[in-house]
Structure 1
Amino acid sequence: MTELPKVRGKLTPNKPLSDLTWLRVGGPADWLFQPADLADLQDFLRDLPLEVPVFPMGVGSNLIVRDGGLRAVVVRLGRGFNSISVEGARVTAGAAALDAHVARKAADAGVDLTFLRTIPGAIGGAVCMNAGCYGSYVADHLLEVRAVLRSGELVTLTPSDLSFAYRSSEVPEGAVIVEAVFEGHVADAEQLHAHMEAQLKRRDETQPTKDRSAGSTFRNPAGFSSTGRADDVHDLKAWKVIDDAGLRGATRGGAQMSPKHSNFLVNTGSATAADLEGLGEEVRKRVFQQSGIELVWEIKRIGEPVSSDKG
């Protein structure tokens, strides 16, 4: 195995990723690196041999790691990368700060980033996937991000650098986002908190928030927010085309398309990554046969299946 640079943080070989993802599946990463601070991350990426792939991982809320694991160094930011500060209408958040915490801290200061409140995960992942809810997206509020490139250089990237699109962005290969700066509208703090409570209530009524899921499984074919606004039409929502194909509640092994919201793939307790991805692919196939619509995964799937490990 390639020798890795010395670090001040924590570098763990053959780290199982199943306990780091919301779906609780996945084989081991070759290495898990938890940097002590920004300089530790910069030094590590600078000195890491270029042939070793890097995969930045947040809290694993939108991720299926395949059962054979990941031949890469997984970089997971923790304390030291989760600060949140507000100055005027600008909110600066570390990449490891939870989306919900950023929304609440901003609201305390009378800044409206309420769309982040119901998005599972951390800020780094929210930027990478241009996360959105109720008609607002990261791209609508982001001013800039700071990221560490594979060279170890700390750079500032603008929204135009990131080429935001629906549920996607173009972060440089192997780069690790460490901080993001947002701008929100100034509003009454009490009203913002009341609005977020209403959002949470609506989410809990319509989504399987108590189950092991990774949020919305597929992008909406029409490119709308996954949860949508009250005035959205529902003819081209992922859940609607899945329902029309008769797949609400469909199962494979321990995997299920939630009976509560058919665009949520859940681990009922014993699912493997192969069960989850296999069910998702079956849904894509059946929806295409039924409607001619090709669903696109919103959940990121990485790593190798078990079979590829067998020589």
Structure 2
Amino acid sequence: MRHKDDFCRSFLTWNLYDGADFTPIVTATPAQLPERVTEVFRQFLATNFPVRVKKIACEIAAKKPDFIGLQEAELWQLVIPNFRIVTYDFVQLLLTELEEIGLEYMIAVENRNFSAELPDSNGNLVRFLDRDAILVRKRYEHKIVDKQEANYKANLTVQIAGQPFVILRGWSSVDVELDENIFRMINTHLEPNAPNIQVEQAEELLAGPANTELPVIITGDLNSNADGSGTPTYGIFINAGFHDVWKEVGIGPGFTCCQAPDLLNAMSGLNSRIDFILFKNGWEPIEADLVGDKQDSRTSTGLWPSDHAGVSASLVLNCDCCQDF
């Protein structure tokens, strides 16, 4: 007879923070753009992802999740003519840190979203690629039988130096076989600055990969407050039959957003809950916790590990509900 814990799986979702506030670029005139690019890139350097990632890896190691949904898993590059390209790959840096701790994860799937290449005021180019990714812990009993990724049809368009720029966002998913039972994990990051577009993205997700009878987990930064203030997106997922792990088994308010853009605020600024692990079709939540939200989560230089806290959870898959798949 199989023990209930055999079907217990752990998940973690975390927005890693791209490292800078892009407002100066969005509001720049063409003449101002190179200086604003330099300003933003310097803030990215100051928020120091190579240092932050060590704390992020330690927080993840404390939970040892089977599956991780990452948002703002960015790729930054400084292109210095006639010299070299300096690359900051958030996912690879995190995988390396986890491996040094003794935890092996692999990229199961990622979705590539908006990208840009802009000149700075020092004669260089700054490249940026926004990504979301699902990481899977390397364990023999997990078999990925399908993976998908796509960008949303509904996306926000802004003007950068007088030119239209589409802030492309998307989702990715994996179907995982565990002892002849299959479940689906979906990861996404919804638009924060246009409520109507955010709702359209949520509806695309619900009509697409989330429209299944498989047991489903959704991890992500939905940018919609769980208390019902702000956008209606959270309620749309709940009305579609999804349950919120934190609401079911979390203790306390579970705030996940947001620290200051420079990550140096003395006291935590987390005051809203917009990052979620949602589930339906056969999952039973066991426990939930936050990561990266405490003072001892900070780096030795005082940086919070991200402007968001992450959410971790353990759930049991009730195989009576998935035996037909």
Report if TM-score (shorter chain) is over 0.5.
no
Q: In proportion to residue count, which structure has more helix?
A: 1
- TM-score between the two structures when normalised by the length of structure 2: 0.24
- TM-score between the two structures when normalised by the length of structure 1: 0.25
Q: In proportion to residue count, which structure has more strand?
A: 2
